[in-house]
Amino acid sequence: MHREETQTVLPAARPRGRALRIGIGGPVGGGKTALVAALCRALSTELSVVVVTNDIYTTEDADFLRRNGVLADERIRAVRTGCCPHTAIRDDITANLDEVEELERLHDPDLVLVESGGDNLTATFSYGLIDRQIFVVDVAGGDKVPRKGGPGVTRSDLLVINKIDLAELVGADLDVMRNDSAAQRGDRPTVLISLRAEHGVAPVLDWVRRSLTAHRA
């Protein structure tokens, strides 16, 4: 652990309050697991981090995170929803809450990341499960996506537009996506990133650190 190195960013003494729980949702394949992996890699030397993934039929995403060694295996739990992913993060959150609370009991984390199964634009997390939510879309769905709205696009605490490295290939205009997001979201932040780029996760990392500081305060 290298907690001393981060004291300029985070409060020196960790209050004994509950961990910050962040939900990460969005359509299938947008880069939710890639984002979780990048956040874990960047934060796990300075913070205690745990992860709950959701898949409908498998434990694919948890397996991926474990295979890539982003955290110790026991810090990663998988929920198999067996039904529409939004049900398990919004309507009946019991299975997720059980895993989150068990991980909190075992590891006393600073940060809990809950990845939703890939869903559609209507999916959101219950604030009974998480404190803040990130909605991840990608440019490959077309630059119309932010304009189509839905609660993830309009009301998530952070909108991530991922895979900007592919924008030219798929003919997505990033200015259109930026402007439509601003029109949909008002003051709520949006970041355009590529998780394939070196330090591509940095804008999300900054937001997570600011959120953690605010949560602790």
Ligand X SMILES: Nc1nc2c(ncn2[C@@H]2O[C@H](COP(=O)(O)OP(=O)(O)OP(=O)(O)O)[C@@H](O)[C@H]2O)c(=O)[nH]1
Contact residues for ligand X, defined by CB under 6 A:
28-34, 61, 118, 162-163, 165-166, 194-196
State in angstroms the smallest separation of the CB of 29 from Mg ion.
Answer: 8
- For the chain, the farthest-separated pair of C-alpha atoms sits apart, in whole angstroms, at 48
The beta-carbon contacts of 68-72 under 8 Å, at least 24 apart in sequence, are 68/37, 70/36, 70/37, 70/40, 70/41, 70/44, 71/40, 71/44
Partner from ligand X, Mg ion, none contacting 34, C-beta within 5 to 8 A by type: ligand X
Are 163 and 147 in contact by the 8 Å Cβ rule? The answer is no
- How many chain residues are in contact with Mg ion, going by CB under 5 A? 3
Residue from 22, 23, 25, 32 touching Mg ion (CB under 5 A): that is 32
The 3-state DSSP class for residue 119 equals: strand
Q: Does 54 bind Mg ion (CB under 5 A)?
A: no
Question: b/e per residue, 150-180, with b = 16+ CB within 10 A?
Answer: bbbbbbbbbbbbbbbeebeeeebeeeebbeb
* Least gap, CB of 21 to Mg ion (angstroms): 18
The residue sitting closest to Mg ion, measured at its beta carbon, is: 33
Instruction: State residue 186 phi and psi, 5-degree precision.
Output: 60, -125
Name the residue nearer to Mg ion (CB basis): 56 or 97.
56
Tally Cβ neighbours within 10 Å of residue 142.
16
Residue 137 or 215: the one with the smaller Cβ distance to ligand X is 137
61 binds Mg ion (CB under 5 A): yes
| Dihedral angle of Cα 195, 59, 114, 198, to the nearest 10 degrees | -10
Cβ proximity to ligand X, 165 vs 173, nearer residue: 165
- Selected from 19, 22, 26, 33, the binder of Mg ion by CB under 5 A is 33
DSSP one-letter string for 164-186: GGGHHHHT--HHHHHHHHHHHHT
Rg of the chain on CA atoms, in Å: 16
Minimal distance in Å, beta carbon 3 to ligand X? 29
User: Is position 110 an interface residue for Mg ion (rule: CB under 5 A)?
Assistant: no
Task: Using the minimum distance from each CB to Mg ion, give the nearer residue, 77 or 215.
Answer: 77
Q: How far is the CB of 123 from Mg ion (least distance, A)?
A: 13
Residue nearest to ligand X (CB): 118
Q: How far is the CB of 6 from Mg ion (least distance, A)?
A: 27
Q: Tell me which residues touch Mg ion (CB under 5 A).
A: 32-33, 61
